[in-house]
């Protein structure tokens, strides 16, 4: 796994957490994904689980189109790591 790509995804997710326009429940899911990515488990498993969590929350009706685009960008980068 390319660590710089993983660091890029983590930075992108951190930016989502710091965005004031992102709803609290979405931030909680992003935080959960970050914890998965930072865990010591198998890389393929943690990337797949984090992508699934982010994909589920990307359908939140309260999420702005900008926030949704940021999530989709993070999901795309995670899928490239698989």
pLDDT tens string 31-81: 999 999 988 777 888 899 999 999 999 999 999 999 999 999 999 999 998
Largest CA distance in the chain: 34
Would 12 be classed as within a structural domain? no
Supply the DSSP symbol for 18. T
User: pTM for the whole thing?
Assistant: 0.87
The pLDDT, as a whole number, for residue 2 is 57
Would 18 be classed as within a structural domain? no
- Distant-in-sequence, close-in-space partners of 26: CB < 8 Å, separation ≥ 6: 16, 57, 60, 62, 63, 67, 71
How many folded domains does the chain comprise?
A: 1
Would 62 be classed as within a structural domain? yes
Q: What is the pLDDT of residues 4-15, one digit of tens each?
A: 888 899 999 999
| 41: containing domain | 24-81
Let me know: does 77 contact 12? Beta carbons within 8 Å: yes
Torsion over CA: 60, 61, 65, 67 (sign): negative
Would 19 be classed as within a structural domain? no
Would 72 be classed as within a structural domain? yes
């Amino acid at each position: 796994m390319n660590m710089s790509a993983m660091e890029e995804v983590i930075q992108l997710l951190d930016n989502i957490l710091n965005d004031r326009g992102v709803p609290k429940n979405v931030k909680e899911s992003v935080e959960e994904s970050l914890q998965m990515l930072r865990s010591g488990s198998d890389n393929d498993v943690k990337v797949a689980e984090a992508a699934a969590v982010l994909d589920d929350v990307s359908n939140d009706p309260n999420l702005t189109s900008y926030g949704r685009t940021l999530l989709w960008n993070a999901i795309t980068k995670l899928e490239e790591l698989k």
